[in-house]
Amino acid sequence: MEAGRTVLEFRDVHTHYGPVHILKGVDLTIHEGQIVCLLGGNASGKTTTLRTILGMVTPTAGEVVIDGEVTNGWRTAAVVARGVSMVPENRRLFKRMTVKENLEIGAYLRADDFTADYERVLEMFPVLKDRLAQRAGTLSGGEQQMVAVGRALMARPRVLLMDEPSMGLAPVLVAQNFDIIRQINEAGTTVFVVEQNANMALSIADYGYVLQTGRIVLSGTGRELLANPEMRQAYLGEVG
């Protein structure tokens, strides 16, 4: 998709957990219709970045801007109502609820009719049709991932945040997962995806950022980053 206006922006964002400084001046720009990926090793602050967008963490300095509006200090529900939703790390389904309830709760804030989105999710993941009355906790990891994505889509987000969606999935499912991301993006949703699987993520991303201990150390288009020697050495598993 062609990139449009800016939908999400970080301006020199700092966050702390108690006294611990996590994000140390992060700048990011995400344009409408893009797939943007955020790469980085363990504990580099990727999840914290997504939590900051959603107001689950409040920046100690800097600005988070959604659709041109500074959203520092907003409640999560208010950000979600603005059209941002997330597929969290490790899926985090409501395991004691049924698959159907999990999908419906994704549309919790919507007052309009969400039948069309419900049907779209089931079309995207046909295997879920036979699982609707089943408790989500009884599903396989791949199926749980589908429910987590479906749940996020039920809010009909304009921006979809995904936190390591391929973690813990078999290689076949990882590839499928990236297909789904592309499909969601082609239908008009901006996607911001956090990944450790750099090769795969950069192959579908319009733009990528690399986070290292709370700082953006590299950024560029997917192709640039894939070709960057520093990147190849540090993140794409090439030696020397």
Partner 1 sequence: MTSAAATRLPRRRRPGWVDSFLLAVRIAAIVLLIWGIAGTVVKGINGEGPTGEAWRDLVVAGIAQGAMYGLIALGYSMVYGVLGFINFAHGEVFMSGGMVGFFVANYLWDIRFWDTNFVLSILLVLASSILASTLVAVIVERVAYRPLRDAPRLIPLITSIGISFFLQYTFAGLFGVAVKNYPPPPDYLRARIGFLDLEIEGTKLAVIVVAVVTMVALYLFVEKTRTGRSIRAVAEDKEIAALMGINVDRTIVATFAVGGAMAGVAGTLWALLFRGVSFITGFLPGIKAFTAAVLGGIGNLGGAMAGGVLLGLFEGVGPQLVLAGFGIPGVSQLKDVVAFTALVLVLIFKPSGLFGERLAAEDRA
Ligand X SMILES: Nc1ncnc2c1ncn2[C@@H]1O[C@H](COP(=O)(O)OP(=O)(O)O)[C@@H](O)[C@H]1O
Binding letters toward ligand X, positions 39-78, x by CB under 6 A: -x-xxxxxxx------------------------------
Q: Which of 33, 40, 45, 88 binds partner 1 (CB under 8 A)?
A: 88
Contact range with partner 1 by CB under 8 A, out of 6-14, 29-37, 71-79, 225-233: 71-79
To partner 1, the closest distance from the beta carbon of 153 in angstroms equals 13
Contact 29, 56 (CB under 8 A): no
Q: Which does 17 bind (CB under 5 to 8 A by kind): Mg ion, partner 1, ligand X, none?
A: ligand X
Query: Per residue, what are the HEC states of 133-149?
Result: CCEHHHCCHHHHHHHHH
CA distance 158 to 43: 28
Write out the two tokens for 206.
């319009």
- 54 touches which of Mg ion, partner 1, ligand X, none (CB within 5 to 8 A by kind)? partner 1
Q: How many CA atoms lie within 13 A of 61 on its CB side?
A: 8
**Complex with partner 1: residue 95 or 129, whichever CB lies closer:** 95
Asked if residues 99 and 108 have their Cβ atoms less than 8 Å apart, the reply is: no
Read off the tokens for 116: 């069309």
Neighbours of 181 (CB within 10 A): 25
Please report whether residue 47 would count as binding Mg ion according to CB under 5 A. yes
Cβ proximity of 189 and 4 under 8 Å: no
Among 67, 85, 65, smallest CA distance to 160 is for: 85
User: Least distance (Å) from ligand X to the CB of residue 70?
Assistant: 22
**Residues at the interface with partner 1 (CB under 8 A):** 54, 56, 75-77, 80-81, 85-86, 88, 92, 94-97, 101, 105-106, 108-109, 151, 155
**Residues at the interface with Mg ion (CB under 5 A):** 47
**Residues at the interface with ligand X (CB under 6 A):** 17, 20, 22, 40, 42-48
